[in-house]
């Protein structure tokens, strides 16, 4: 997959993203429903002088879950402790983190669905009663020591909310489901980032970048940086529509945001398998990619755009998918609306 449209960041991008992130809810663009709900939650908590309720942020990568966690800490004037689910392998790891928290502190756990089961069970009591029972020793001589915790706010982020056990999910006072962004919101984000980067960019170029960003701010900022690089080399740093289109064409990002992998998957289904159905493993072998890469990165966007459909027999290209490749769809083509979805 093209690094440009991969919603997951690398280490260098994490540093660059921090500089471009909004610092408070006023600067945060898009997600209007979540924005209003979160603003109400935080304003009410501040007016009562108590820590905010626990918050679960759910949604695909690159939509601003980590940014919102930092905004919550900023709005509550509280310090934030950041960790991730895979890093908490034992209940003792979590107990150590919880015991060092201060009153009102924000604990942000990214990829919370990947925590170990013993750590999850320890978190149940901590979230509800603000205490943990630490077991010392083994066997018949083991003793349980209750440990009181300060009132803290847990902010969990997950890309797969369905994998969270119900007892954990139910203990969050507010769940924010983040959706993909509208093109207009992405254009606003691109314009703001361009100002922070001191870029000279035209409105048409901003609109073009917003339309090709796959509904994801992280992708929008990444495309903006690559277009800036292209403009610095080819047009003295000024970015207009011409430079933007040329740069994105060079990086193989088409008019709707499809990259090389997306187009390879769609073309394989249409041209090699006559529109499908074709199984995921067979499709992966046909284009030389891992099945997990196709399923987790390329397929969700193609399904969202209506270019392919998932059926009980495999992946099927839709009429829109044929038309996007410039191919004529078959007369009796199965569409998204008469094919039952499946997890195959």
Hey, which residues are catalytic here? 65-66, 110, 159, 218
Please name which of 254, 203, 253, 193 lies closest in space to residue 225, comparing C-alpha atoms: 193
| C-alpha span between 252 and 250 (Å, rounded) | 5
φ, ψ for residue 167 (rounded to 5)? Answer: -60, -35
CB 92 within 8 A of CB 115: no
| C-alpha span between 262 and 1 (Å, rounded) | 8
| C-alpha span between 23 and 72 (Å, rounded) | 10
Please name which of 162, 154, 206, 159 lies closest in space to residue 185, comparing C-alpha atoms: 206
Please name which of 163, 159, 155, 156 lies closest in space to residue 117, comparing C-alpha atoms: 163
Judged on CB neighbours under 10 Å (0-12, 13-18, 19+), 94 is buried
| C-alpha span between 259 and 297 (Å, rounded) | 11
What tokens does 343 get?
A: 């997890």
Residues 6+ apart with CB under 8 A from 224: 190, 193, 194, 197, 199, 209
CB 55 within 8 A of CB 41: yes
3-class SS at 65?
helix
Range list of H helices, 11-59:
11-20, 32-48
CB 55 within 8 A of CB 156: yes
| C-alpha span between 243 and 234 (Å, rounded) | 8
């Amino acid at each position: 997959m093209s690094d440009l449209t991969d919603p997951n960041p690398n280490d260098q991008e994490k540093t660059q993203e921090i500089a471009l992130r909004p610092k408070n809810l006023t600067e945060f663009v898009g997600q209007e429903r979540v924005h209003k709900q979160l603003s109400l939650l935080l304003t009410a908590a501040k007016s009562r002088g108590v820590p905010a309720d626990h918050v679960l942020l759910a949604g695909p990568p690159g939509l601003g879950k980590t940014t919102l966690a930092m905004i919550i800490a900023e709005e509550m004037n509280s310090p934030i402790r950041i960790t991730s689910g895979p890093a908490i392998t034992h209940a003792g790891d979590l107990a150590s983190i919880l015991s060092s928290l201060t009153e009102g502190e924000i604990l942000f756990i990214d990829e919370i669905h990947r925590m170990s089961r013993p750590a999850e069970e320890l978190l149940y009591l901590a979230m509800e009663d603000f205490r943990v029972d630490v077991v010392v020793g083994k066997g018949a001589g083991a003793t349980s020591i209750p440990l009181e915790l300060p009132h803290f706010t847990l902010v969990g982020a997950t890309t797969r909310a369905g994998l969270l056990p119900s007892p954990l999910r139910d203990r969050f006072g507010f769940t924010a489901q983040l959706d993909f962004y509208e093109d207009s919101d992405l254009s606003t984000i691109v314009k703001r980032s361009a100002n922070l980067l001191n870029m000279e960019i035209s409105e048409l170029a901003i609109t073009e970048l917003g339309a090709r960003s796959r509904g994801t701010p992280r992708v929008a900022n990444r495309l903006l940086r690559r277009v800036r690089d292209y403009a610095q080399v080819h047009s003295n740093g000024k970015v207009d529509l011409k430079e933007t289109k040329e740069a994105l064409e060079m990086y193989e990002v088409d008019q709707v945001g499809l990259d090389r992998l997306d187009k390879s998957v769609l073309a394989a289904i249409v041209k090699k398998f006559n529109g499908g159905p074709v199984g995921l493993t067979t499709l992966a072998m046909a284009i030389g990619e891992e099945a997990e890469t196709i399923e987790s990165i390329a397929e969700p966007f193609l399904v969202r755009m209506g270019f392919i459909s998932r059926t009980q027999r495999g992946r099927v290209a839709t009429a829109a998918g044929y038309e996007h490749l410039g191919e004529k769809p078959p007369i009796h083509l199965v569409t998204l609306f008469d094919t039952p979805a499946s997890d195959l």
